[in-house]
Chains A and B, each alone.
Chain A
Amino acid sequence: MTGAMTPDDRSTLAAEYALGLLDGDEAVRARALAASDPRFGDQVASWSGSLAPLLDEISPVAPPDRVLAAIEQRLGDRPALPDNVHQLRRRVNLWRGFSVGASALAASLALVLAMRPEPIERPPVATPAPAPAPMVAMMEAEDSAAKLVATWDSGARRLVVAAAAGIAPVAGHSHELWVIPADGTPRSLGILPGAQPLHLRVEGPIAQQVGEGVTLALSVEPTGGSPTGLPTGQVIAAGKLQRT
């Protein structure tokens, strides 16, 4: 989609997105482009800044006192940082450190084996292929409090999506999980079951498309899921699967 766009097309798309003119699939694609292409993101930011003076035409209105009280109540005693996701990030880094350590250990063992004067007897059974490392996606959106962590076990084709924060139920709506593979077309993976983690075994051709670098996204949809088969509501969290 982006390959054939001229610079004018890109600038116009950035303006349309900043203005909020797009809807449906066009909006989803522009949003994905803004999230994945920093140059396009800068163009959107530039249009937002250019158009922002229009907001000066709107007169200030004092909100009722209860709003600040509600904000402070919702903040509770939680500090701003570190939050759950930061803790999870640290955990992912720990996993990374562990797997690097494990590789180093494996390498030194290999060295020890290579230096043995006598070849060791091979075990009679073939060594099983090492299980691929699970992939993790940190799903969030800049302007949303929702934070989720998805883990993908490509061997078992098992996907687990757990909310770390901010998945408030919206009356009359569901949270639907999408995978956006290389072709850019979102495919539904299912509805998030409230606050419970979503456990999925991904079957069929779609399983081949889930992998490193693929985007997972969560959108707000009518109860029961999008009626069109494509995301129709706000994307409140998204992230790419990465190797741990």
Chain B
Amino acid sequence: MPDRRPAGATDDAYPCSSGHAPAGHLYAQAVFLCIDGAMDSSVPMVMSAAASHELNPLMRSVASGNRGALAELYRRTSGKLFGICLRLLGSEAEAEDVLQEVYLIVWHKADRFDPGKASPITWLAVLARNKAIDRLRIRRLPTDPIDSASEIGDGGPSALDVLETRQEQQRLANCLDELEEQQRSMIRSAFLDGATYPELAEREGVPLGTMKSWIRRGLLRLRGCLQQ
């Protein structure tokens, strides 16, 4: 099997381990770049600080219209972004579509990236996540107007702006740990699976209002902890 890691990826940037496919992925034949300690939130960012730092000049080159820089940025980051699209969409074809769209947006909007606010990999990861959510919502739209209106969703968050503070990883893990187990699991599910309030309420078998006040309490508590 050829090594399909992106050119330029170092073991430091993509720490590979046993290579088992994470549960929930739909295609066994996909080549997994590496497993970065999935489900262990204490593992640091997928990219080392040094590797992520190297992306800053690449982002600047992309913003100035350098096609080669876009290809290099793609080689270094597409594995991470494709993984995110697949997780949310569960369909390889749709994940490929969204991945294309994400890099086209990067090409046109790289000048909006502010290295003072977020690292390139975080900005890209959130962009891929938000675009995959948009696709999920479009998929849920009925193609026939007679379909139940209750299934209609709206696009997810759209902003390209991401504001990252240092040591978010550990702080978020600690603060999530302070929530009730169900609040934690709902908030994770919204972010990682794209679940909306109505979907979470249906899944848990509770009224919509109950689900909202439940999660809102969790979010206020999370904010209080994150701001400490």
A residues near B (Cβ < 8 Å) are 8, 11-12, 15-24, 26-28, 31, 34, 41-42, 44-46, 48-64, 66-68, 70-72, 74-75, 79-81, 83, 141-145, 170, 172-173, 219-225, 227-228, 231-235
CA distance A72 to B75 in the complex (A): 13
Q: Is B41 an interface residue (CB 8 A)?
A: yes
Inter-chain contacts of A50 with B (CB < 8 A): 164-165, 168, 172, 226
Q: Is B179 an interface residue (CB 8 A)?
A: no
Inter-chain contacts of B38 with A (CB < 8 A): 57-59
Contact A68 B155 (CB under 8 A): no
Q: Given A62-B82, A70-B100, A83-B108, answer yes or no on A56-B45 (Cβ-Cβ < 8 Å).
A: yes
CA distance A68 to B110 in the complex (A): 17
Quote the shortest CB–CB distance from B88 to chain A (angstroms). 9
CA distance A74 to B70 in the complex (A): 13
Contact A63 B99 (CB under 8 A): yes
Q: Is B53 an interface residue (CB 8 A)?
A: no
Main secondary structure of the interface of B (DSSP, over half): helix
Contact B36 A24 (CB under 8 A): no
Q: Given A46-B163, A54-B172, A80-B65, answer yes or no on A61-B83 (Cβ-Cβ < 8 Å).
A: yes
B residues near A (Cβ < 8 Å) are 4-6, 14, 22, 25, 30-36, 38-39, 41, 43-46, 62-65, 67, 70-71, 74-75, 78-80, 82-84, 86-87, 95-96, 99-101, 103-105, 107-110, 112, 117-118, 122, 125-127, 129-131, 133-134, 137-138, 141-147, 149, 152-165, 168-169, 172-173, 187-188, 190-192, 194-198, 200, 215-216, 219-220, 222-223, 226
25 contacts between A and B (CB under 8 A): A15-B219, A20-B194, A31-B154, A31-B158, A41-B159, A42-B163, A45-B117, A45-B159, A49-B162, A55-B125, A57-B41, A58-B87, A60-B80, A61-B32, A62-B32, A67-B82, A70-B96, A71-B70, A80-B65, A143-B109, A173-B141, A232-B153, A233-B137, A234-B134, A234-B154
Inter-chain contacts of B4 with A (CB < 8 A): 62
Contact A23 B141 (CB under 8 A): no
Quote the shortest CB–CB distance from B79 to chain A (angstroms). 4
* Cβ-defined partner of A52 (8 Å) among B33, B162, B200: B162
CA distance A76 to B140 in the complex (A): 32
Contact A228 B83 (CB under 8 A): no
Nearest residue in A to B187 (C-beta to C-beta)? A19
- In the A-B complex, the 7 residue pairs with the closest CB atoms: A234-B155, A27-B154, A60-B79, A172-B143, A20-B156, A45-B161, A49-B164
Contact A233 B79 (CB under 8 A): no
